[in-house]
Structure 1
């Protein structure tokens, strides 16, 4: 069987747009060219890549998902090959598709993108946000090149580059009776109303922390927005638990926050970069990965976490800054 890179590119773009017409517009070619590429592959394989949905576009078949996963690796390898033989290129240029867990994205990604932009202005980073499992699926399927993920529950063919460990900490209204404590356990706070960040991964993780002490939280409020959770805590509606904190002071409509470390022993979260372990990483991919490693080694990510069971270096018992 013979496939051309042009055919594979057309099919990849059609799958991403879920539309032959949309792919044609994106590539500035005729829809018939896209259809011809799809037909050619389907004839050679004697299998359907897509199911045509009248007035709704196209849907990738089970075989199509497998085909696309492999073809995207080939396209990626071709890009890497082109980079390797382009001796005239004096600067690294290109694009990388990078995902991140939604609550962590506004804290972690600006550090990375700013550092890449400062040192490699020819590189563009296309960012996506989603839950941890969704990002991992997109990496496995070749829809994104890299993602900021966690070390737990990695797929078999995923490589993980560790960046930092984020212990959990308590977030309280600034005028809470426990706000002057240097550290807390969940037993100190579990009887009070909790504001839960209600995402699949965070929900399971939070309940797991309480299970370590054979406790059950009293969830009074929940939200899928980390910023909403912090705002509700600042307003005095309860406490919450986070692993990451914003790098700058945040202003809230009502109230303010303090962050207090949990006593040692609670499960922390290890963040890092994930990519397919069999992927043909491009120069651009390596630049982003190496940038993250340099940021890690310089301690840049440390500002995003609260050290486990320690009073901040300035001697204060708590810090009036958002979690």
Structure 2
């Protein structure tokens, strides 16, 4: 008979990628983890993982299907085992992923909101660049994610949260800052500070390439705030999508934000749901809170 403990071990190995990492996460020995997985495979009559010692474990197609079932069963078991309180509050866990530059804008406000409205729901957070968030969704490491609709492999289910537009980031005293808008051709003539994150890098450069322009890259950085700081100190210009509420940088300098006069693509900010998870009551409630949060007019960017 398959036990809840076996399912917990199976899910941990799948999420951690190795029996040794799962052993550390569950505070068990590595041989014990391996034995539990082998016994579970014997019960099911098929392999859950492909063993490749140099590379660790890779989940099989059969295992991937069983992983979704195991997560659903564990979620149901947790809710079944919890006593119902007078407030009929939701209980359970959820793992939320988010694109690294979006996190500071939305996640703290969301977590505070969830703690106030769903105190029995535990939310675990996973951060990454666009490609990493896409892989988390694709492999079932996160149940939901707040991200741009780029880099998602198996096309998880998505809901549009808002449309975001490019803008130019300029030094306060730069001549272009005195204009109401700037063109890509004007920006391409200036030293350029590039956000150097996978997929973000190519997407932010694509409008230039579409117009046969090549920016003069002066500096590259993976940090949104470093881009803003270098622009504020007159080291170059940039184009960005994520826009903080304040034009002040960490050190108190100021940048100027201007719309771009060329026709530009609009980037969709979405709520994505991994196809590895069934829609639980907890996930449905958290998704509703996220949609409600993004409906607020004062939310940036």
Do these two structures clear the TM 0.5 threshold for a shared fold by scoring above it? yes
C-alpha displacement of 1:105 = 1.6
Superimposed CA distance per residue, residues 29-49 of structure 1 (whole angstroms, 9 cap, x where no aligned partner): 454432221222444546472
Ranges in structure 2 where 5+ consecutive residues have no aligned partner: none
**Equivalent residue, structure 2, for 1:88:** 84
User: For the aligned residues, what is the CA RMSD?
Assistant: 2.7
Among 231, 244, 268, the residue aligned to 1:246: 244
C-alpha displacement of 1:213 = 2.6
Among 241, 261, 264, the residue aligned to 1:263: 261
The CA distance in 2 between the partners of 1:208 and 1:182, in whole Å, is: 23
The CA distance in 2 between the partners of 1:131 and 1:139, in whole Å, is: 12
C-alpha displacement of 1:182 = 1.9
**Equivalent residue, structure 1, for 2:184:** 186
**Residue 253 of structure 1: SS of its match in structure 2?**
coil
The CA distance in 2 between the partners of 1:50 and 1:282, in whole Å, is: 29
**Equivalent residue, structure 1, for 2:173:** 175
**Equivalent residue, structure 2, for 1:23:** 22
User: Aligned residues, how many?
Assistant: 297
Contact residue 102 and residue 147 of structure 2 kept, 8 A: no
C-alpha displacement of 1:163 = 0.3
Contact residue 212 and residue 266 of structure 1 kept, 8 A: no
**Equivalent residue, structure 2, for 1:308:** none
- TM-score (normalised: structure 2): 0.86
Contact residue 67 and residue 276 of structure 2 kept, 8 A: no
1:225–1:187 Cα change, 3 Å = same
Residue 37 of structure 2 is aligned to residue 38 of structure 1: yes
Contact residue 10 and residue 34 of structure 1 kept, 8 A: yes
**Equivalent residue, structure 2, for 1:289:** 287
- TM-score (normalised: structure 1): 0.81
1:143–1:264 Cα change, 3 Å = same
Residue 56 of structure 2 is aligned to residue 59 of structure 1: yes
C-alpha displacement of 1:11 = 2.3
Q: Say which is worse superposed, 222-231 or 291-300, in terms of deviation.
A: 291-300
The CA distance in 2 between the partners of 1:106 and 1:243, in whole Å, is: 14
Ranges in structure 1 where 5+ consecutive residues have no aligned partner: 305-323
**Equivalent residue, structure 2, for 1:129:** 127
**Equivalent residue, structure 2, for 1:315:** none
Matches within 5 A, 1:202-241: 202-241=200-239
